[in-house]
Amino acid sequence: MGSLLSTSPVVAQDAEDTRPSSDFKRLGGETVENEPVLDLSLPEPEVKPETPEQREARREQERQALITRTLEDARSAMRAGRIDQPQEISAWTYFSEVLRLDPGNVTALDGLAAVQRAMVNRAVGYARELDFETADRLLDDAAFVRAEQGPVVDARKEIAAFRSGYAAELEVEAVTAMDAGRFDQAERALIGLVALGGADAQVNQLRRRLEESKVYGGLEPGQVIRDHFVDSRVWTPESVIIEAGSFMMGSTVSEDGRRDHEGPQHRVTFSRGFAIGRSEVTVAQFRAFVDGAAYRTDAEKLGHSMIYDPNSGRLVQRDRADWEHDYEGRRASEDLPVVHVSFNDAQAYVKWLSRGTGKPYRLPTEAEFEYALRAGRIGPYWWGDGPPSEVVENLTGERDVSRNRRKWETFFEDYGDRHWGPAPVASFKANPFGLFDAGGNVAEWVMDCWHDSYIRAPDDGSAWINPGCKTRVVRGAYWASAPQQARSAYRLQAQPTLRDGRVGFRIARDL
């Protein structure tokens, strides 16, 4: 066999040569027959087994590398705001993993403290935006971050204090709105309290108050109120709160002395309470109006009014008689009910009260007057079915005698109140609703237009007013009313300019 460097001629392989190709190699373009195959691979190095020390060192190196990478992931998550969500790539998860690998890792422990603080701060922020549900959830989660609970406990106290303070603000808002009649605002405040949670008893109490406020304006039936003028020392006359309810208005066909225009008897229902003057407006109270508004009454403008003539026992015209005079045309005491005032004068007075106080003052409606006068009674009079058994009103009594020894031709038997003409207001017993003089003393203007019957009359207690009506209603008995005229259903019609010594008025107010 020749050398690998032999220069012997190369003989071409016969086409029919069937020797395996492995029997020769082509090197440098030359064919070499029967050339041995050289093994040029390197022998495998000899690997020595890893000692336990080496294995532990390698694993520690890998653990430290993983800790380093995980801490960097945690810091990146913190910078990106991934504090606790998404959970799989959150700082909370990464720091927790580091502590699993290295339970005492200070960086991870500090990191979890930072995670907890961030969650607590977010919870407080949500609470201040009134999202207490999210705030509570975040604090619950923050409590699981680490064993130390100080920041969570402090945050719960802070949120509880804020929540309590906000609840108090909502309560004040609700009550203030109720008192002002802004019931929609009060309802929204209550909804806010419900959303806060944990104030069920408080909400229920305020809910009852709201319902009462809608009916009574935050006041109570029987409560006596008065309002102060915004920019002066004037006070309104006292009013009493009348409870909501219903009654049969008018008289039955069998009632003695009944007039056709007192029917048909019909039910009137008041869904809300109202305020009505405890007594008639006095001379002193009307004087404050005349002086404050520089007002001139119809009697002053027209130059006369009707007074009682003690000699004839009749009403006669008297020049220059006006609101400063009593029923006989003499100078009136300040505590007497003002008379010689027309419907127009009464309307001007209550409008003045409204402007001065900002409250909705007005005259009573006819239904309100009869409802408050009856005070729950269904008989002819608020005190019963016949003559009073005690002194209750300024009425025509059998025992009454005038200064010139006159006596009433028709009267309540065995009754006397020692007054001939109007008495100072509130001189007698109040009725069960707290009204003085509603069934006596002076008759009173009400808001309604006159109608000859109650057919198609309102059933909600509102005033029955027709645009341009020329006749108004007078209700209640006066000092010279016959017993049949003192009935609770009795009513009179009058021109709005009527003025005399028998008619005055009292105020009313919406709640």
Predicted pLDDT of residue 32:
53
Predicted pLDDT of residue 30:
53
Q: Are strands 491-494 and 472-475 parallel, antiparallel or unpaired?
A: antiparallel
Greatest pairwise CA separation for the chain in angstroms: 181
Does the pLDDT of residue 90 top 90, yes or no? Answer: yes
Does the pLDDT of residue 15 top 80, yes or no? Answer: no
Weakest-pLDDT range from 205-214, 306-315, 380-389: 205-214
| Residue scoring higher pLDDT (204 or 371) | 371
Instruction: Report pLDDT digits (tens) over 251-310.
Output: 999 999 999 999 999 999 999 999 999 999 999 999 999 999 999 999 999 999 999 999
How many C-beta atoms lie closer than 10 Å to residue 93's C-beta? 20
Contacts with 82 (C-beta within 8 Å, 6 or more apart), sequence order: 89, 90, 91
Predicted pLDDT of residue 7:
39
Q: Is 416 exposed, middle or buried (0-12, 13-18, 19+ CB in 10 A)?
A: middle
Mean pLDDT value of segment 105-117: 95
How many C-beta atoms lie closer than 10 Å to residue 43's C-beta? 6
- Tokens linked to 24: 């020769």
Write the CA distances from 309 to 197, 283, 306, 434, 498, integer angstroms.
Answer: 72, 21, 9, 33, 18
Predicted pLDDT of residue 14:
44
Judged by DSSP in three states, 314 sits in strand
Confidence of residue 23 (pLDDT cuts 50, 70, 90): very low
Predicted pLDDT of residue 463:
98
Weakest-pLDDT range from 40-49, 74-83, 382-391, 456-465: 40-49
Predicted pLDDT of residue 4:
38
CA of residue 324 relative to chain centroid, distance: 45
Confidence of residue 10 (pLDDT cuts 50, 70, 90): very low
Write the CA distances from 419 to 116, 352, 428, integer angstroms.
Answer: 85, 32, 11
- Tokens linked to 326: 């009593």
Instruction: Report pLDDT digits (tens) over 113-170.
Output: 999 999 999 999 999 998 988 999 999 999 999 999 999 999 999 999 998 888 889 9
Mean pLDDT value of segment 6-17: 42
Does the pLDDT of residue 222 top 80, yes or no? Answer: yes
Mean pLDDT value of segment 491-506: 98
- What 8-state DSSP symbol labels residue 503? E
Predicted pLDDT of residue 368:
99
Rounded-to-integer distance, Cα 16 and Cα 20, Å? 12
Give yes or no for a contact between 353 and 359, defined as CB atoms under 8 angstroms apart.
Answer: yes
Rounded-to-integer distance, Cα 35 and Cα 40, Å? 15
Predicted pLDDT of residue 210:
86
Predicted pLDDT of residue 187:
93
Mean pLDDT value of segment 198-202: 81
| Residue scoring higher pLDDT (258 or 12) | 258
Weakest-pLDDT range from 17-21, 155-159, 327-331, 338-342: 17-21
Q: Is 313 left (phi over 0), alpha (psi -120 to 50) or beta?
A: left
Mean pLDDT value of segment 170-179: 87
Mean pLDDT value of segment 62-88: 93
Q: Rounded to 5 degrees, what are φ and ψ at 83?
A: -70, -55
Contacts with 45 (C-beta within 8 Å, 6 or more apart), sequence order: none
Instruction: Report pLDDT digits (tens) over 405-416.
Output: 999 999 999 999
- What 8-state DSSP symbol labels residue 409? S
Most confident of 16-25, 120-129, 215-224, 342-351: 342-351
Predicted pLDDT of residue 13:
43
Predicted pLDDT of residue 36:
63
Mean pLDDT value of segment 76-81: 94
Does the pLDDT of residue 78 top 60, yes or no? Answer: yes
Instruction: Report pLDDT digits (tens) over 30-54.
Output: 555 565 666 666 677 777 888 988 8
Judged by DSSP in three states, 73 sits in helix
Angle at 44 between CA 41 and CA 50, to 5 degrees: 165
Rounded-to-integer distance, Cα 498 and Cα 209, Å? 43
Give yes or no for a contact between 130 and 163, defined as CB atoms under 8 angstroms apart.
Answer: no
Judged by DSSP in three states, 1 sits in coil
Give the amino acid at 105: N
Tell me, letter by letter, the H, E, C secondary structure of 299-315: HHHHCEEEEEECCCCEE
Rounded-to-integer distance, Cα 474 and Cα 466, Å? 16
What share of the chain has pLDDT > 90, as a percent? 75
| Residue-range domain boundaries for the chain | 55-148, 160-216, 239-509
Instruction: Report pLDDT digits (tens) over 458-477.
Output: 999 999 999 989 999 999 99
| Residue scoring higher pLDDT (48 or 81) | 81
Predicted pLDDT of residue 164:
87
Summary mean pLDDT of the chain: 91
Confidence of residue 16 (pLDDT cuts 50, 70, 90): very low
Predicted pLDDT of residue 213:
79
Give yes or no for a contact between 506 and 474, defined as CB atoms under 8 angstroms apart.
Answer: no
CA of residue 207 relative to chain centroid, distance: 9
How many C-beta atoms lie closer than 10 Å to residue 40's C-beta? 5
User: Which run of H or E residues covers position 344?
Assistant: helix 343-357
Predicted pLDDT of residue 211:
84
Rounded-to-integer distance, Cα 219 and Cα 210, Å? 11
Q: State the DSSP string of 184-195.
A: HHHHHHHHHHHH
The correct answer on CATH 3.90.1580.10 for the domain covering 239-509 is yes
Predicted pLDDT of residue 48:
81
> Between 343-357 and 283-293, two packed helices, what is the crossing angle to 10 degrees?
70
